[in-house]
Amino acid sequence: MRRTFPGHPAAPGMALGRVRLEQPARFSIDTSPLPDAEIDAEVARLERAFAVAREDMAELRRKLHGALAREVGEFIDAHAQLLDDPDLIEGVRAMIRRGHYRAAAALKAQRDRLVAVFDEMDDPYLRSRGEDVDHVIARVQSALARQASAEEKKLATRVGEILVTDSVAPGELAHLASHGILAVVAGSGSPYSHTAILARSLHLPMLVNADGVLEDLRDGDLALVDGVRGEVVVHPAAQDLARYRTWQRDSLREGQRLAELAGAETRTRDGHQLRLFANAERPEDIERARNLGVAGIGLYRTEFLFLAHDGLPTENEQFTAYRDALLGAGGLPVTIRTLDLGADKADAAGLVTAAEPNPALGVRGVRLSLRQPDVFITQLRAILRASCYGPLRILVPMVTDAAELTEVRRLIEECGRDLRTAGFEIPEQFDLGAMIEVPAAALNVRAMLEVADFLAIGSNDLTQYILAADRNNDQLGKLYRPAHPAVLRMLAYVIARARAARKPVCLCGEIAGDPAFAPILVALGLDDFSMQPDRILGQRDALSRCERKTLRKLVPRLLRARGSEEIAALVASVQVTA
């Protein structure tokens, strides 16, 4: 019999499939007091479980690539931080030692206490952070009970299924998506949770807070998840299936409409030509981007080559990767960014030696490269050797001072001389660019333009440094706003100075591919955008609706805006919808 269950839409879309019911992990918890003689062994078990949970997360982190690595990586890092929280471990350890709790019982008590603290919070966003604690502790419990590996094996059978569960952690969601799950219905949770944010980016329909589903659905039930209306329909009737087909047709049509834009030029409604570049981390990204008609690769993030490697990649290994990137681009320019490790990008290669109290303000990007000249020179040699396979530009991350770029140029020239002496054919001249992602570099951009051949604005980092809001700290999600007037003013300034100096300036942070930002960036005079390949068509479409002349006139008012809402209202007032 047809039944509906309302749920809160956390990620849009619809899906029809068989239910896979997953009861909340229930661990049989022994609450009997622990004998004195077993305390040391129990603490050791606990510590091993934490270590296994940490290793699980690190393993997950290593397996993720591309856009997924960026999205999920942040969540995993946040969870990994929780796992490292000395108060959490110490609290549980003390309960075992002093309270004679067993490890699982102590973990559960800690979990209940912490989740209760979050539940008390008024702010729904902060309240939803209780889920993170829940997921992290569930991982440790799972490691304690040695259930994790059996769980992983079950994933392989999930193709075409709708997961109905109490809650799901972001890392698990990434796994599930890659195993073909169609949608997720969670009995608890909030649309602010990491998992929900991730589901949106994976285009995986998701409902949260769906009451009664765990009790009333059965494994194998046919169900329609409607992330548009916010309901699950079990044993859907003809009218539900018709609604689903209409939705499928409409989204297919939208996909086809966008597909027609592949290979097209990018122009605003009033005919101004723009250039769309792709961000790439893997060879597949370059291939995809080429088929969509891009002007080149605006950002090739080389750190992923390092993060996916045990130890440091050799000069030859790097050379092969850069050469393949250039060959894959088929004559389009490729902007290779030198290593940007440190801060949020985990250091699998072991380059960042000292633990830093403020990693985002510490030795990252070019600061690290200049402190590790052997590593840097190996990379520069590999890049220079690849340069004969296509047009290449070199981009330097995290530049604060023009002198850093000058030093990089000196090293490039030195590497070029050495390679020529060794018989390689290396061009005399390379286009060298600076990432503008540190406010000092932005405010002093005139000095940067004297030594750089081009600029690439890293709005992801620039936003975090302008607003002093860590881009990885989910508690600051509301503060971290690229549409903040302070960010816009800085973008406007950098773009205007680069244009005046007649040097190319591209923006390669996430907002470059966000249709909501298209009118703002056009207003600020940006012509070059670099984004993940799957954003290209949607953004080409959004940009083609922008009336550049009208938007440019809006600039003085945009820059005087007091807040993001005023900016959104100004843009909406001139935006063409059809």
Residues in contact with Mg ion by the rule CB under 5 A: 437, 458, 461
Shortest CB 319 distance to Mg ion, Å? 25
**Phi and psi at residue 282, in whole multiples of 5°?**
-135, 160
| Beta bridge pairs of residue 4 | 233
With residue 347 as reference, give the H or E element that holds it. none
Alpha carbon of residue 359 to chain centroid: 18
| Binding residue for ligand PEP, selected from 459, 532, 539, 550, defined by CB under 6 A | 459
Total residues at the site for ligand PEP (CB under 6 A)? 10
- The answer to whether 509 contacts ligand PEP (rule: CB under 6 A) is yes
- Compare residues 173 and 526 and give the one whose CB is closer to Mg ion: 526
- Residue 65 annotated among the catalytic residues of the structure: no
For residues 183 and 9, is the Cβ–Cβ distance under 8 A?
no
Residues in 257-316 at the binding interface with ligand PEP, rule: CB under 6 A:
299, 301
- The answer to whether 458 contacts ligand PEP (rule: CB under 6 A) is yes
- The answer to whether 73 contacts ligand PEP (rule: CB under 6 A) is no
| Beta bridge pairs of residue 299 | 279
Region near ligand PEP per CB under 6 A, out of 237-245, 287-295, 415-423, 456-464: 456-464
Shortest CB 460 distance to ligand PEP, Å? 3
193 binds, options Mg ion, ligand PEP, none, Cβ within 5 to 8 A by partner type: none
- Residue 194 annotated among the catalytic residues of the structure: yes
CA distances from 396 to 58, 299, 380, 405, 475 (A): 27, 10, 11, 7, 30
DSSP H helical ranges for 23-129: 39-63, 66-84, 86-99, 103-119, 124-128
416 binds, options ligand PEP, Mg ion, none, Cβ within 5 to 8 A by partner type: none
Shortest CB 178 distance to Mg ion, Å? 26
- Compare residues 293 and 439 and give the one whose CB is closer to Mg ion: 439
Shortest CB 299 distance to ligand PEP, Å? 6
| Binding residue for ligand PEP, selected from 508, 551, 554, 558, defined by CB under 6 A | 508
433 binds, options Mg ion, ligand PEP, none, Cβ within 5 to 8 A by partner type: none
Residues in 306-365 at the binding interface with ligand PEP, rule: CB under 6 A:
340
Given phi > 0 = left and psi -120 to 50 = alpha, else beta, which region is 415? alpha
- Compare residues 142 and 335 and give the one whose CB is closer to ligand PEP: 335
Give the span between the Cα atoms of 212 and 164, in whole angstroms: 11
> Residues near 442 by Cβ (< 8 Å), separated by ≥ 6?
436, 457, 462, 490, 493, 494
508 binds, options Mg ion, ligand PEP, none, Cβ within 5 to 8 A by partner type: ligand PEP
| Binding residue for ligand PEP, selected from 193, 460, 539, 550, defined by CB under 6 A | 460
What is the DSSP secondary-structure string of 422-471? TT----S--EEEEEE-SHHHHHTHHHHHHH-SEEEE-HHHHHHHHHT--T
For residues 100 and 39, is the Cβ–Cβ distance under 8 A?
yes
- The answer to whether 437 contacts ligand PEP (rule: CB under 6 A) is yes
Nearest Cα to 340, choosing from 126, 172, 508, 160?
A: 508
- The answer to whether 369 contacts ligand PEP (rule: CB under 6 A) is no
Region near ligand PEP per CB under 6 A, out of 233-241, 269-277, 440-448, 455-463: 455-463
- Compare residues 165 and 338 and give the one whose CB is closer to ligand PEP: 338
Shortest CB 384 distance to Mg ion, Å? 23
509 binds, options Mg ion, ligand PEP, none, Cβ within 5 to 8 A by partner type: ligand PEP
List strands edge to edge, sheet with 206-208: 3-6, 231-234, 222-226, 14-22, 161-165, 183-186, 206-208, 8-11
Alpha carbon of residue 411 to chain centroid: 32
Shortest CB 346 distance to ligand PEP, Å? 13
Shortest CB 459 distance to Mg ion, Å? 9
Shortest CB 397 distance to Mg ion, Å? 6
- Compare residues 95 and 462 and give the one whose CB is closer to Mg ion: 462
Catalytic residue (choose from 135, 194, 415, 506): 194
Give the span between the Cα atoms of 567 and 524, in whole angstroms: 12
Helical axes 39-63 vs 66-84, angle rounded to 10°: 160
| Tokens linked to 242 | 């018709």
Interface residues with ligand PEP (CB under 6 A) are 299, 301, 340, 437, 458-461, 508-509
Active-site positions? 194, 508
